[in-house]
Chains A and B, each alone.
Chain A
Amino acid sequence: MPDIAALEDLVTQVRRDILRQVHKVNSGHPGGSLGCAEFFVALFQVIMDRKDGFHMDGKDEDIFFLSNGHISPVFYSVLARSGYFPVEELNTFRLIDSRLQGHPTTHEGLPGIRVASGSLGQGISVAAGAAETKKLNNDPHLVYALCGDGELQEGQNWEAIMYCAANKVDNLIVTVDLNGQQIDGSTDDVLDLGNVRGKFEAFGWLVHEVANGNDMQAVIDGLNHAKNMSGAGKPVCVLLQTVMGNGVDFMMHTHAWHGKAPNDEQLAIGLAQNPETLGDY
């Protein structure tokens, strides 16, 4: 059984990493990053069967693709704290000559990144391709992907979603971060997504909902459940209800912090709400 208290300590530290990364360069995307902290920690610390070190080919291990690349601060923090690169390198986020580009890229050779993302809507396709290759290689490991809910407005997703069902890509688990927010406002106001569960099911996917995507135990249970749903001839979707800006009270339940960095005072408040656990970088 995973040590939930220890994982929650890690989440708290990841939140600090997120705030400090974006504050230092006064740019980046803290809102969605904070909302997905539990997901990333659960995935990398508990759920995925990962090899030591980084191997681009990802053979004989579970692999992950981030489609909504703008939440790079949480991805970088969890990759670093899972041993892919030194935690101190978080200090270089978005700086010139850094491997930690604004949006993740393979271009600078950062361990843990297998494809560039940021221009939205492409991650499910890439993950599905990697899943097909795993099948060709008789590799029983799983492919995970995360995409945003607003991102589902991009048409390419639905090409990929149709493909995966038609071709029984059942070694793929796509999580949708349902935080209900995007840059211009709520997803309901910008372009109503309608019934997301119904859409995935109508396309032929198995869907599992996690009502509290910011509860560590619930996220672990939900992803384990999704794992058990895989291999049954259908692709699997996890609808993860999260709160944008989770863990920093003034950033929660609003799209305002989608792509805005806290100032010195706001940083201090955010950090005070998330006391250091594993040590700052």
Chain B
Amino acid sequence: MKTYTDTGKKDTRSGFGAGLTALGQTNPDVVALCADLTGSLKMDEFKANHPERFFQVGIAEANMMGLAAGMTIGGKIPFTGTFANFSTGRVYDQIRQSIAYSHKNVKICASHAGLTLGEDGATHQILEDIGLMKMLPGMTVINTCDFNQTKAATMAIAEHHGPVYLRFGRPKVANFTPEDQTFEIGKAVHLQEGADVTIVATGHLVWEALEAAKALNEESISVEVINIHTIKPLDTDAIVKSVKKTGCIVTAEEHNFLGGLGESVARELALHHPTPQEFVATNDTFGESGTPAQLMDKYGLNAAAIAAKAKKVMGRK
């Protein structure tokens, strides 16, 4: 069994900040917009290095999305930064009309996604954003798992022409993917080969999936772990190929089961290779205040929950 090492806990939003800083040096067309959350989004360094390419829009996210759409006209590549809730639900119609329908090259970069922003509670935790964004025609939807992957994804999306939703989070989590990785949009990453059950995870739950696999392995259960960083377009081939081998699948995400990764996987399997599936996701609920660990435990989004669902789905084969 392949093992992964946490090289030191880091927040994925800092991965975004590092990626943006790097882009600032290499791509003169990249501009950044922020709605009064520069520090939270880790955009300070880009701002300091390139004040002329940094646009503070104030607490006005709707205007930020429109500005970003307009900035593409003339060749700029705008990266917008605010919390996931204010990046999607608050500005859905602006994204829909001015960015997605108009096919503008805007990168919507969203921190504090899911439950793990913690104590601020449900007003700031969004568990619906993947669904909102993946329903928009032409929108690419990415949810990265650690610092290194978020940095790589941030740099990769600048090279992709078209609207992108990049989702990441607040807490410090295990940093275990390679520092020098090449990020391929739409390409699943096989983390571990296995024969008994497939676990497909995205975002913060990828590390939890690896932890679950380790625990299951001690019970002689062979687990295949796939990191799906791109929810749309989904790497159907990788998933189908895996379940043809294992015969069952668990999807894991920090999102509502409605509209999330699990639903996207279920559709592809229904079309191509019907397979028993269990969902690790929130159960059509809002979040609440608490520490990230408490919330992930209460809402069943950790390694223990994934391992339990893996055993359950194996029993349905």
Contacts and interface: CB of A to CB of B under 8 A. Distances in A.
A57 B104 CA distance: 11
B74 A115 contact: no
Interface residues of B, number: 31
B70 A130 contact: yes
B283 interface: no
Interface residues of A, number: 40
A130 B73 contact: yes
A163 B74 contact: no
Interface string A103-133: 0011100000011111101111111111111
Contact of B73 (A57, A119, A121, A122): A57
Interface in B18-47: 31
A60 to B, nearest CB: 10
B60 interface: yes
A106 B104 CA distance: 10
Nearest to B74: A133
A125 B97 contact: no
Nearest to B52: A136
Contact of A115 (B62, B78, B98): B98
Contact of A128 (B58, B62, B66, B74): B66
Interface of A: 56-59, 63, 65, 105-107, 114-119, 121-134, 136-137, 139, 155-156, 159-160, 162-163, 166-167
Interface of B: 31, 52-53, 55, 57-58, 60, 62-63, 65-76, 78, 93-94, 96-98, 101-104
Given A116-B98, A159-B63, A163-B58, 10 more contacts: A122-B66, A125-B69, A127-B70, A129-B73, A132-B67, A133-B72, A136-B53, A139-B74, A159-B58, A160-B66
20 contacts: A105-B102, A107-B101, A119-B97, A122-B62, A122-B66, A124-B66, A126-B66, A126-B67, A127-B70, A128-B66, A128-B70, A129-B69, A129-B73, A129-B78, A156-B66, A156-B94, A159-B57, A159-B58, A159-B60, A162-B60
